[in-house]
């Protein structure tokens, strides 16, 4: 009995088999099963998925891949429409969407060298003159990703060392993983946090280490909120900092929403600030003349630094 495979593995299997089937007159079902070491029922199920799900907008019957299966004659034939044969033309927005999705996969260390090469070629085409287009995502430790996946597959508790961005602290938590998902270019672990006694979502690129605990998850835990019910962006305000040359270490050390080089040579960055204490510590490390603004309100945050500095001075008087 073949083991259960993931959706990604099934997709890769289908994509490997399809070129073999695109032959005038068809290919033997038995021969295909032997060549790809796949059960006959699984092969037919994959082909059924291919027939109903692969095509182009508006996904009407004439815009889908044609799959013909004749079990009596033991043959399969796949016909690809013209849109699979002619060169693909993408708009800049479509190309950037593909690059972004591919970079999410590569950041999780699940992509291949072929995918990385294809992404590099698309980025090269999108770039013109001195303008370079690229998509950079936070890197995920492949060992962390592997442990998280194992915890989910085996139903075991995971002990994680997690960097809390808002408090700028590292803590250890035991969590009962429920699912991994990608939202807006970032990978998240949705889990029951034993410390909090509630559902929490952890960014995988902020998990510093992960290890399986020899305990099973509690199947009686309430179901996690749906993706549409959880605010993955959080309610953290965005802060805009305009940095001088001596403070350009900031985007290298902290996750940022955007980084822009201004005409005067300074660096403008936007980043989340979920805690006043963390923001105070950051502003105290920067040049006193650094511009700091709440992006949503446009309010200057200079008073945050001044208040923190005054509080520290009072302790030493």
Q: What is the CATH number of the domain that holds 14?
A: 1.10.10
Please tell me whether residues 198 and 256 are part of one structural domain.
no
Q: In this structure, are residues 84 and 165 in contact, taking their beta carbons and an 8 Å threshold?
A: no
Please tell me whether residues 286 and 242 are part of one structural domain.
yes
Q: Is residue 93 part of a domain?
A: no
Band of pLDDT at residue 54, cut at 50, 70 and 90: low
pLDDT confidence of residue 131: 47
Q: Residue 190 is part of a domain; what is its CATH number?
A: 2.30.30
- Whether the full predicted model's pTM is greater than 0.75, yes or no, is no
Question: In terms of residue numbers, what domain contains 198?
Answer: 142-229
pLDDT confidence of residue 106: 67
Please tell me whether residues 215 and 247 are part of one structural domain.
no
Q: Is residue 95 part of a domain?
A: no
Which domain-ending residue is among 43, 58, 85?
85
Please tell me whether residues 221 and 242 are part of one structural domain.
no
Which domain-ending residue is among 188, 210, 229?
229
Strand partners, 66: 79
DSSP tag of 71: T
Please tell me whether residues 148 and 225 are part of one structural domain.
yes
198-203, strands of its sheet edge to edge: 198-203, 186-193, 169-183, 156-164, 207-216
Q: Cα separation of 136 and 138, whole Å? A: 7
Q: Is residue 96 part of a domain?
A: no
Please tell me whether residues 195 and 242 are part of one structural domain.
no
Please tell me whether residues 223 and 248 are part of one structural domain.
no
For residues 105-123, b (16+ Cβ closer than 10 Å) or e, as one string? Answer: bbbbeebeeeeeeebeebb
Average pLDDT of the chain is 76
Please tell me whether residues 21 and 76 are part of one structural domain.
yes
Please tell me whether residues 242 and 225 are part of one structural domain.
no
Q: Computed over its alpha carbons, how large is the radius of gyration of the chain?
A: 25
- Higher-confidence residue: 294 or 230? 294
pLDDT confidence of residue 185: 59
66-70, strands of its sheet edge to edge: 27-28, 75-79, 66-70
Q: Which two tokens mark 290?
A: 């650094």
Three-state DSSP at 298 gives: coil
Q: Is residue 123 part of a domain?
A: no
- Count of domains in the chain? 3
Which domain-ending residue is among 60, 85, 110?
85
Q: Is residue 282 part of a domain?
A: yes
Does residue 86 carry a pLDDT above 60? Answer: no
pLDDT confidence of residue 157: 95
Q: Is residue 91 part of a domain?
A: no
Please tell me whether residues 248 and 195 are part of one structural domain.
no
Q: Is residue 130 part of a domain?
A: no
Q: In this structure, are residues 77 and 32 in contact, taking their beta carbons and an 8 Å threshold?
A: no
Q: Is residue 288 part of a domain?
A: yes
Alpha helices in the chain (DSSP H): 7-21, 29-36, 40-53, 82-85, 92-107, 113-126, 142-154, 250-253, 276-285, 302-315
Q: Which two tokens mark 206?
A: 């902020």
DSSP tag of 229: G
Please tell me whether residues 242 and 208 are part of one structural domain.
no
Please tell me whether residues 209 and 154 are part of one structural domain.
yes
């Amino acid at each position: 009995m073949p083991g259960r495979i993931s959706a990604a593995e099934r997709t890769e299997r289908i994509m490997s088999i399809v070129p073999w089937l695109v032959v005038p007159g068809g290919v033997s079902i038995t021969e295909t099963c032997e060549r790809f070491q796949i059960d006959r029922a699984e092969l037919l199920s994959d082909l059924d998925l291919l027939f109903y799900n692969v095509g182009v907008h508006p996904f009407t019957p004439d815009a889908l891949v044609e799959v013909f299966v004749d079990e009596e004659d033991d043959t399969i034939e796949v016909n690809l429409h013209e849109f699979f044969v002619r060169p693909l033309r993408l708009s800049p927005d479509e190309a950037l969407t593909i690059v972004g999705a591919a970079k999410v996969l590569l950041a999780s260390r699940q992509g291949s060298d072929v995918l990385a090469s294809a992404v590099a070629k698309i980025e090269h085409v999108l770039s013109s003159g001195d303008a370079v287009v690229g998509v950079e995502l936070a890197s995920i430790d492949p060992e962390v990703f592997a442990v998280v996946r194992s915890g989910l597959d085996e139903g075991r508790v995971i002990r994680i060392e997690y960097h809390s961005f808002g408090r700028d602290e590292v803590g250890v938590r035991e969590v009962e993983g429920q699912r991994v998902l990608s939202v807006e270019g970032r990978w998240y672990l949705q889990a029951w946090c034993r410390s909090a006694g509630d559902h929490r979502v952890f960014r995988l690129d902020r998990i510093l280490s992960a290890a399986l605990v020899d305990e099973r998850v509690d199947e009686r835990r309430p179901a996690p909120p749906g993706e549409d019910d959880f605010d993955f962006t959080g309610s953290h305000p965005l802060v805009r900092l305009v940095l001088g040359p001596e403070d350009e270490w900031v985007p290298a050390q902290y996750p940022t929403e955007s980084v822009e080089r201004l005409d005067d040579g300074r660096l403008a960055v936007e980043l989340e600030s979920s805690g006043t204490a963390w923001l105070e510590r950051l502003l105290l490390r920067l040049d006193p003349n650094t511009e700091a603004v709440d992006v949503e309100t446009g309010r200057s945050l200079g008073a945050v630094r001044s208040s923190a500095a005054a509080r520290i001075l009072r302790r030493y008087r």
